Structure 1
Amino acid sequence: MSIFPQGSAKKDLPFKDSAAPARDQGPAVASFEPAEAPFQATQRPAAPAAPQARESVIASDLTIEGKISGSGNVRIAGKFKGDVNVEGDLVIDGGARLNGGVRARRVTVAGELEGNIESAERVDLQPSAVLVGDVKAGTLTVAAGSRIRGHVECGWDDAGAAKGKDDKAQKDSKDQAGLDVVK
């Protein structure tokens, strides 16, 4: 028994696509060869992302007394009494308070700091900052509205300070603020 009349040709069928493969060829064979090599010897893999320094946070509802030291970053949003000595950055949020000495790569103050900042690369005082203490930093940025009381040494490198302030070569090449003098 046949569905199609014996005399009909395959080209007369409306659903037959001439580009489609014929069913009489057998099962398809899959190829597991990659279309193109994913990694060539001349290509270099993407460099891994630099590891991000972790940040430790003292929350706004905490009051802690002690000492902080380490290699990561620290954010103080609450109150801390003690010294902070980190190789990373220190951020004192608005409304936060720190009573103690600070040694960090970068220090950003938006709250209150009562203590000295020693040997920081950069210190940023935000408009709401209150700093009572001495500052020794490579760069100091003071925003309008911030308050500071203490001695500030900014722009002096350790080698220049070791020579003494009376060194004539140092006086000729630097002004009192530690900036290069152009004559």
Structure 2
Amino acid sequence: MSMWKDQLSGKKDATPPPADPAPLRDGPAPAPFAPEPIAATPVPTPALATARPAAAAIKESLIASDLTIEGKIEGTGHVRIAGKFKGDVNVQGDLTIEQGARLSGGVKADKVIIAGELEGNIEAAKQVELLASGALIGDVKANTLTVASGARLRGQADVGGEGNDRKKDSDAA
């Protein structure tokens, strides 16, 4: 006989001990061995592709104002030069030379905006903008040329007409 045995074991209680209250659920109670049901996560439906302009899809590369680079730039996309670059630039996109920046080399681009300094020739551009703070030392072949008051241009300009559009030049090749 155990020392800690229930002393009331001789008496039988007619009422069973109170059970823990069952948590309230919506729907049938799961079996004790079944896992909890997992709520279905909604599957996102793909949105209809909206047409975006081609220019929005083109990326822009930046040469920061504290960089000096020598080499060659070729490819598709926009290029923004805020520092110094020595070499040729041939891009299917826009080239922007910011105020205080300097580019020494030939340029082939769809659109060229010069607020800094370009020493080299621009060939086969659709549009060239020489801003008031800009300086161009070299020849220009473009469909349109805009020169702001105060800008400096030293070279020959061949504007308008055939042969200045990049696509026409590349088709002829």
Aligning the two structures, in what range does the TM-score lie when normalised by the shorter sequence? 0.5 to 0.7
- 1:104-123 matches, within 5 Å, as 104-123=109-128
Please, what is the CA RMSD of the aligned residues? Answer: 2.2
How far apart, CA to CA, are the structure 2 residues paired with 1:131 and 1:120? Answer: 14
Q: TM-score, normalised by structure 1?
A: 0.61
2:128 touches 2:142 (CA, 8 Å); kept in 1? Answer: yes
Say which one has the larger Rg. 2
Look up the match of 1:78: 83
- 1:1-183 matches, within 5 Å, as 45=48, 47-50=50-53, 51-158=56-163
Give 2:159's aligned amino acid: C
Q: Identify unmatched segments of 5+ residues in structure 2.
A: 1-25, 27-44, 165-173
How far apart, CA to CA, are the structure 1 residues paired with 2:49 and 2:86? Answer: 44
CA-CA distance at 1:157 after TM superposition:
1.0
**Deviation string for 1:105-160 (max 9, x for gaps)?**
0000000000000000000000000100000000000000000000100012129x
How far apart, CA to CA, are the structure 1 residues paired with 2:61 and 2:90? Answer: 13
Look up the match of 1:13: none
Q: TM-score, normalised by structure 2?
A: 0.65
CA-CA distance at 1:47 after TM superposition:
2.4
How far apart, CA to CA, are the structure 2 residues paired with 1:110 and 1:117? Answer: 15
Task: Report SS of the residue matched to 2:57.
Answer: coil
**Deviation string for 1:45-104 (max 9, x for gaps)?**
462323521000000000000000000100000000000000000000000000000000
How many residue pairs were aligned? 120
Task: Report SS of the residue matched to 2:65.
Answer: coil
Identity, % of aligned positions: 61
How far apart, CA to CA, are the structure 2 residues paired with 1:156 and 1:148? Answer: 21
How far apart, CA to CA, are the structure 2 residues paired with 1:46 and 1:54? Answer: 20
Q: Identify unmatched segments of 5+ residues in structure 1.
A: 1-26, 28-37, 39-44, 160-183
